[in-house]
């Protein structure tokens, strides 16, 4: 069977599904027969050509999610760990003696103490604000990394054949979350390929972060 004919069978299946939701009960049987016949043709085409021509949205979404999981898991966590986490502005370990004494008095009313920041001396207030600033910078840095890597994942071009292998693997795993040894091996191979394709297409980004 050629691709053109297989695509036609795919279209028939889709249209039968729509038709089934509106068709008269007495006609359901015949529509189902047509649908099953074409479905079988599509499946055979997939099998013979080691491809998937009828991937649905969920399956395509799972491929994209897998790419993000692999790439973010590897790089983003490493980058987060390399960033120095700023000290909490509310740790108050920078307070001068006067303020420290005051803090002592307020200790029982910890929540109220936050409002006393405005009463800090000039120096302590400055330190407090510096820490807030560093916390904000830290948050923005992390956010920028996530956005950059997510975009890189979306922009990376993966071959259709690889996508088809992943989806056919998903379909072959009958018991969810319980793949056979062979399926695990195939999954690992796909994982490695996704990884090398990403590295090859994102050299600039990886160099930027010394990865």
CA separation for the pair 196, 189 (Å, rounded): 11
| Minimum distance from residue 95 beta carbon to Zn ion (Å) | 6
Cβ proximity to Zn ion: between 54 and 99 the closer is: 99
Distance CA 164, CA 86 (A): 45
Q: What Rg, from alpha-carbon coordinates, does the chain have?
A: 29
Applying CB under 5 A, the span of 24-32, 93-101, 155-163, 167-175 interacting with Zn ion comes to 93-101
Q: How far apart are alpha carbons 177 and 170 in whole angstroms?
A: 10
To Zn ion, the closest distance from the beta carbon of 89 in angstroms equals: 14
- Contact partners, residue 102, CB within 8 Å, separation at least 6: 116, 119
Judge whether 20 and 32 are in contact, CB under 8 Å.
yes
Quick one: 102 or 168, whose CB is closer to Zn ion?
102
- The answer to whether the beta carbons of residues 152 and 67 sit under 8 Å apart is no
The number of residues that bind Zn ion (CB under 5 A) is 4
* One residue of 6, 67, 99, 131 binding Zn ion per CB under 5 A: 99
> Which parts of 149-208 interact with Zn ion (CB under 5 A)?
none
Are 71 and 149 within 8 A, CB to CB? yes
**Candidates 47-55, 63-71, 118-126, 156-164; binding stretch for Zn ion (CB under 5 A):** 118-126
Residue 96 — left, alpha, or beta (φ > 0 → left; ψ -120 to 50 → alpha)?
Answer: beta
CA 190 distance to own-chain centroid: 17
Decide whether 80 or 92 has the Cβ nearer to Zn ion.
92
**Considering the complex, what minimum distance in angstroms separates the CB of residue 96 from Zn ion?**
3
Stretch near Zn ion under the rule CB under 5 A, chosen from 46-54, 81-89, 99-107, 198-206: 99-107
Contacting range for Zn ion; rule: CB under 5 A; set: 7-15, 119-127, 171-179, 187-195: 119-127
Which residues from 123-142 bind Zn ion, rule CB under 5 A? 124
Sole residue written with tokens 């108050």: 92
* Residue from the set 121, 140, 144, 161 that interacts with Zn ion by CB under 5 A: 121
User: Which residues contribute to the site for Zn ion (CB under 5 A)?
Assistant: 96, 99, 121, 124
């Amino acid at each position: 069977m050629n691709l053109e004919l297989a695509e036609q069978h795919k279209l028939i299946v889709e249209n039968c599904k729509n038709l089934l939701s509106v068709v008269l009960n007495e006609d359901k049987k015949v529509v189902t027969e047509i649908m099953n016949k074409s479905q079988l043709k599509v499946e055979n085409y997939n099998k013979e050509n080691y491809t998937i021509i009828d991937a649905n949205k969920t399956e395509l979404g799972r491929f994209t999610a897998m790419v993000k999981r692999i790439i973010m898991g590897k790089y983003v966590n490493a980058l987060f760990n390399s960033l120095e986490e700023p000290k909490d502005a509310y740790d108050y370990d920078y307070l001068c003696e006067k303020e420290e004494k005051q803090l002592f008095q307020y200790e029982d009313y910890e929540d109220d103490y936050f409002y006393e920041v405005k009463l800090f001396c000039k120096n302590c207030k400055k330190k407090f604000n510096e820490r807030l600033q560093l916390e904000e910078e830290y948050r923005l840095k992390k956010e920028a990394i996530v956005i950059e890597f997510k975009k890189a994942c979306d922009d990376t071009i993966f071959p259709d054949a690889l996508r088809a292998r992943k989806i056919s693997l998903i379909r072959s795993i009958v018991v969810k979350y319980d793949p056979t040894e062979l399926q695990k091996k195939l999954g690992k191979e796909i994982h490695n390929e996704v990884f090398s394709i990403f590295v090859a297409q994102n050299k600039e980004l990886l160099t930027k972060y010394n990865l």
